[in-house]
Amino acid sequence: MNQVRVRFAPSPTGYLHVGGARTALFNYLYAKHHHGVFVLRIEDTDLARSTEASTQAILDSMKYLGLDWDEGPEKGGSYGPYFQTERLELYREYAAKLLAMGRAYECFCTPEELDQIRKEAVEHGRDPKYDGRCRSLTEAQRQELIRQGRKSVIRFKANYDGTTLVDDLIRGQVVFDNAQLDDFVIIKSDGMPTYNFAVVIDDALMKITHVIRGEDHLSNTPKQIQIYEALGFAVPQFAHIPMILGPDRTRLSKRHGATSVGQFQEEGYLAEAMVNYLALLGWSYDDAQTLFSKAELIEKFSLAKVSKNPAVFDIAKLQWMNGVYIRELSLDDLYDRALPLLQEWGFVPEEISPELECKVKAVLKVLQERIKLLSDLKESSYYFFQDEVRYDEKAVRKVLFKEGAEEILSSLLPELLSVKDYTQENLEPIFHKAQEQRQCKLADVIQPVRVAVTGTNVSPGIYDVLAILGRARTCQRIKDALALIKNRQEG
């Protein structure tokens, strides 16, 4: 087999959707598995909607996921340029070839005439497609239409006879009746190519061997194969991957929550977890293995194991998987990933002293097992870095305002003030002593302190929390909690 060359060709009209990211990933894995080439091409011919910001967002998302392209923007390559707006002369050249061959023609029909053609077709029970009325214009008729100031498009002269066979690597043989095709537009009146034309020229000239894309493009394939054949290009192998659905089994969209890769990155999903999860949307290696490193995915990926059925995006499973990956990070790695967020939230300054680095790592160590997203750190770690505690009203009512809580905090305060080094070895006896004196559960002693110092009744182990907070902050928060209790009693 010739060297595998695949491509991912997004339109820069918005952020990179997880569906697009999954397509990019499957192309990347297929290329790497076969020691081939992964091309990134930007299809920016929709001038009204394409933006540089969207292009940059797509590139950033690809980099975040680690989907390094071999040819394309910022990389170059032998088959560029890799932006369609820089390839317009190529499209015009091949459109002219089709015109000269008699496989394309100018169409001067107005939008109103096209609407009328569709209406009449529907009224007579026919497919609402173009009826080919400009197929056989004489040169005199053509010149008269030009003299009238009519704008023209270029239409491909489709072959209506027989069938077009798509030998899909996922779906098997799919047969299309050519009679269902129409003479579709390949060059619009503004000179810009349509998708079905530009993609063929680009894939052919870039020597793409395998076109791996969403199943929504399957219906375009017979049109594209006719263009390949008309121009004498080799037809690539096609593989159409299943749709991604939301939990309600409708097409995944914004109403289901985050759908762009950038949103997931901002919410604290690790790239490794995203890649692992996206790979499982429509592909599986076996029934047992769920967690895959990128190297394992490259080794094991094959189109033969891609399902024909739609994949359901399960945010709960993604969050679970992300939590697994977070727990497997080394503390240094977790620190490197979390620090920018802690700085963004104003928890720590830009310049980090060795002492503060130790504190941050201590916080991350006690929280690592408890978070599913890096963004969870915003709520679960703030009280380690900020002076003010945000009390959870339910926890305050249930724990701080409970009978005996004031007495427990009052008796513990002098003990905690006298401890020099806040270590488990020094702190644990204080709590056990209070438990024995009151003949209560240890939790009855710990919970008032936990709510006082963290604002909530759920936190890492209390000895770890106090050790990180230190004596001054711990004791001040207990004093504040006692004042809160007293104010309620007086109020």
Q: Which residues pair with 193 in a beta bridge?
A: 187
479 phi and psi angles, rounded to 5 deg:
-60, -40
Mean pLDDT of all residues in 341-352 = 97
Q: What is the DSSP letter of 168?
A: E
pLDDT of residue 1: 53
- Residue type at 214? G
* Rounded percentage of the chain residues whose pLDDT exceeds 90: 93
pLDDT of residue 490: 80
Q: Encoding tokens for residue 452?
A: 């006082």
- What is the β-pairing status of strands 311-312 and 244-245? parallel
Q: What is the pLDDT of residues 74-91, one digit of tens each?
A: 999 999 999 999 999 999
Mean pLDDT of all residues in 454-468 = 97
pLDDT of residue 252: 84
| Owner of token pair 């990956």 | 325
Torsion over CA: 302, 303, 306, 310 (sign) = positive
E strand or H helix that includes residue 448: helix 442-454
| Owner of token pair 């008309």 | 230
pTM: 0.92
Q: What is the pLDDT of residues 388-400, one digit of tens each?
A: 999 999 999 999 9
Q: Which residues contact 295 (CB under 8 A, 6 or more apart)?
A: none
Confidence of residue 365 (pLDDT cuts 50, 70, 90): very high
Torsion over CA: 265, 270, 274, 277 (sign) = negative
Whether the CB-CB separation of 46 and 11 falls below 8 Å is answered with yes
Mean pLDDT of all residues in 201-214 = 98
Average model confidence (pLDDT) across the chain: 96
pLDDT of residue 491: 63
Distance in angstroms (rounded) separating the CA atoms of residues 24 and 65 = 10
User: How would DSSP label each residue in 62-81?
Assistant: HHHHT---SBBTTTB-TT--
pLDDT of residue 426: 96
Mean pLDDT of all residues in 211-222 = 97
pLDDT of residue 488: 87
Mean pLDDT of all residues in 70-77 = 97
pLDDT of residue 287: 79
Confidence of residue 253 (pLDDT cuts 50, 70, 90): confident
* Rounded percentage of the chain residues whose pLDDT exceeds 70: 99
Distance in angstroms (rounded) separating the CA atoms of residues 301 and 283 = 8
Which is more confident, 441 or 127?
441
pLDDT surpassing 70 at residue 339 = yes
pLDDT of residue 489: 83
Q: What is the pLDDT of residues 220-238, one digit of tens each?
A: 999 999 999 999 999 999 9
pLDDT of residue 442: 96
Mean pLDDT of all residues in 55-84 = 97
Q: Which of 338, 329, 388, 333 is nearest to 360 (CA)?
A: 338
Q: Which domains does the chain have, with CATH numbers?
A: 5-73+244-312 (3.40.50.620), 87-241 (3.40.50.620), 330-385 (1.10.8), 393-490 (1.10.10.350)
Helices (H), 166-293: 195-205, 221-231, 261-266, 271-279
Torsion of CA 419, 422, 424, 427, to 10 degrees: 30
pLDDT of residue 130: 94
| Owner of token pair 């990389």 | 75
| Owner of token pair 């499982």 | 280
Mean pLDDT of all residues in 468-484 = 97
Q: Encoding tokens for residue 282?
A: 């429509």
Q: What is the pLDDT of residues 281-323, one digit of tens each?
A: 999 998 789 999 999 999 999 999 999 999 999 999 999 999 9
pLDDT surpassing 90 at residue 244 = yes
Q: What is the pLDDT of residues 137-154, one digit of tens each?
A: 999 999 999 999 999 999
Which residues are annotated as catalytic?
A: 254
Mean pLDDT of all residues in 342-349 = 97
Q: Which residues contact 259 (CB under 8 A, 6 or more apart)?
A: 17, 18, 19, 252, 253
Q: Encoding tokens for residue 428?
A: 């644990």
E strand or H helix that includes residue 107: strand 104-107
Q: What is the pLDDT of residues 402-451, one digit of tens each?
A: 999 999 999 999 999 999 899 999 999 999 999 999 999 999 999 999 99
Confidence of residue 56 (pLDDT cuts 50, 70, 90): very high
Confidence of residue 25 (pLDDT cuts 50, 70, 90): very high
pLDDT of residue 71: 98
Q: Which of 218, 259, 212 is nearest to 236 (CA)?
A: 212
